[in-house]
């Protein structure tokens, strides 16, 4: 890897009493990390991804056990309820957060990239499936 990039996902006001966690790994060989039980306030997930040197497009450059999908359609999963290990939950969902919109300029800026997504779906339960609408990733400057 050429270097690492920090990504932060803010899950806004998810339903109370539900566990949410970041999926690390793919298929049946995955674990849920950074698991948090919602109290109705925003949840934050922060993690690093590798940036592959020489990649022509930003999504092709991002590699990590957290990154899912093909080179042109990368995304990150947030596991919810039973998928996050909460055995007594009535929810069994995953939230797919696309990495679209991340540019090589954003990667080169060396700050934190942050995405804010709604934690509650139209049905009043936890948001699930692919985030829509998605406002994308924003560059945050890091003070040293």
In contact, 59 and 100? CB cutoff 8 Å: yes
pTM of the predicted model as reported, rounded to 2 decimal places: 0.91
Q: Which residue has the higher pLDDT, 126 or 135?
A: 126
Summarised one tens digit per residue, pLDDT across range 32-80 is 999 999 999 999 999 999 888 776 676 677 889 999 988 778 999 999 9
- The tokens describing 76, both together, are 């990150």
Position 6 confidence tier, pLDDT thresholds 50, 70, 90: very high
Position 95 confidence tier, pLDDT thresholds 50, 70, 90: very high
Question: How high is the pLDDT of residue 132?
Answer: 85
Q: Taking all residues of the chain, what is their mean pLDDT, rounded to a whole number?
A: 90
| DSSP annotation of 67 | -
Pairing between strand 129-130 and 92-98? parallel
What distance in Å separates the CA atoms of residue 140 and residue 99, rounded to the nearest whole number? Answer: 16
Position 106 confidence tier, pLDDT thresholds 50, 70, 90: confident
Summarised one tens digit per residue, pLDDT across range 23-32 is 999 888 899 9
In the chain, how many H helices and how many E strands?
2, 10
């Amino acid at each position: 890897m050429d270097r690492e990039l920090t990504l932060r996902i803010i899950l806004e006001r998810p339903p109370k009493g539900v566990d949410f966690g970041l999926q690390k790994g793919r298929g049946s060989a995955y674990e849920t990390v950074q698991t948090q039980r919602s109290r109705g306030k925003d949840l934050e997930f922060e993690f690093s991804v590798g940036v592959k040197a020489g990649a022509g497009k930003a999504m092709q450059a991002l590699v990590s056990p957290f990154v899912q999908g093909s080179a042109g359609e990368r995304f990150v999963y947030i596991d919810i309820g039973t998928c996050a290990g909460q055995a007594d939950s009535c929810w069994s969902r995953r939230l797919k957060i696309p990495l679209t919109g991340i540019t090589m300029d954003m990667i080169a800026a060396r700050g934190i990239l942050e995405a804010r997504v709604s934690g509650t779906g139209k049905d009043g339960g936890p948001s699930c499936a692919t985030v829509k609408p998605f406002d994308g990733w924003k560059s945050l400057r890091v003070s040293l």
